Structure 1
């Protein structure tokens, strides 16, 4: 797990690098205020697939740095231009307490922008990303965003859940959120045999805690 340590907590997302036998997988790419690729422990010449769980700013900022990119088909058109209305990049411009340390002299969040990163592989429910020794099934987990996906290793119960569920504050009140869809996602997660969930924010959680969070969401939002 990597993160951008000097970014305000609200916009700081988790970045996950998964090493496979034949292929490495990068799950989300942060805000991109500094180059991400040089920080990764990868093997020269080994393929790397960068997967975006959804198109929000804190998950796609460095996606353009990678030559092989995947993400949810439902949100694919937005990756072509990374418009503010889809990424919410405008929220970070002049955000109070945006960073605690400048990435370089003269940097300002007022000039923050996300470079386009068209997808090479469009992911739908049920597709499989095969790393050679591990296989991750794509789950469509809408609610936080229309196209939000998770990546589930059905053999060992590992879920990369993006912002669908994690141990921090779950956001369901932005313009592209859908609470009805989110409730359906939570009901699905309760029944999923997850051993550990690595989310887009906060610490990883075990399956029991994940189900508690999902059940609590349903109680607070009408089931």
Structure 2
């Protein structure tokens, strides 16, 4: 399997397309530009089987309905944010988008606990990593040695915690207890910016030093 990073939407949020040998794919956080994403998938002859959301902030969900409808696939989201997709106040678009509200229909599949998530040939370990938002989750894909961390952990930084439901203490504890327990060579596919690794962040991330 392999994956592609594709910055999309108003804040150039990183969408990731994880592709298996049958050219099926799981899409993480399609933040916008749904027509362009669908067009690319069609040209590559890739068939999505699901959309996985690390959380439901507006910059991660802008293309959810357009992609979901094009391929008739389910959206997965943590239960703690089940009503955020349809609420511009909760997903933040009402505050940050100058009057434009970004919404989507509710998710078909709600994740309620940590554990193994199987979607066709794709297997993930799901970690609850709130702190940036109350329903933030990270998806670890052992086969590609990658954790799709959303806005929990970045290269040299962590997710902002000044939004509703945020807590720096909770976020740092979850990063320490869950993400930093992964193998040090695990790739961290972040919600914004470049890909990093667990080992690199353990060694050099100023937010994690001494925690």
- TM-score tier by shorter-chain length is 0.7 to 0.9
Match of 2:115 in 1: 126
Match of 2:188 in 1: 197
Contact 1:21/1:131 (CA < 8 Å) preserved in 2? no
User: Is 1:25 aligned to residue 17 of structure 2?
Assistant: no
Contact 2:61/2:103 (CA < 8 Å) preserved in 1? no
Cα offset for 1:38? Answer: 2.4
Secondary structure at 1:35 match in 2: helix
Matches of 1:129 and 1:193, distance apart in 2: 21
Contact 1:2/1:15 (CA < 8 Å) preserved in 2? yes
The structure with more radius of gyration: 1
User: Is 1:69 aligned to residue 75 of structure 2?
Assistant: yes
Contact 1:20/1:131 (CA < 8 Å) preserved in 2? no
Secondary structure at 2:148 match in 1: strand
Cα offset for 1:168? Answer: 5.9
Alignment TM-score, normalising by the size of structure 1: 0.76
Matched residue count = 196
Match of 1:100 in 2: none
Unaligned runs of 5+ in 2: none
Match of 2:127 in 1: 139
- Residue-by-residue CA offset, 1:24-73 (whole Å, 9 max, x unaligned): 1000011x366354243257694420111101011011111213211112
Cα offset for 1:161? Answer: 0.6
| Worse overlay, 12-21 or 152-161 | 152-161
Aligned-CA RMSD value: 2.5
Cα offset for 1:143? Answer: 0.5
Match of 1:38 in 2: 38
User: Is 1:12 aligned to residue 12 of structure 2?
Assistant: yes
Check 1:169–1:89 CA distance in 2 against 1; reply closer, same or farther (3 A cut). farther
Q: Trace 1:52-131 onto structure 2 (pairs within 5 A).
A: 52-65=53-66, 66=68, 67=72, 68-79=74-85, 81=86, 83-94=87-98, 110=99, 112-123=100-111, 124-131=113-120
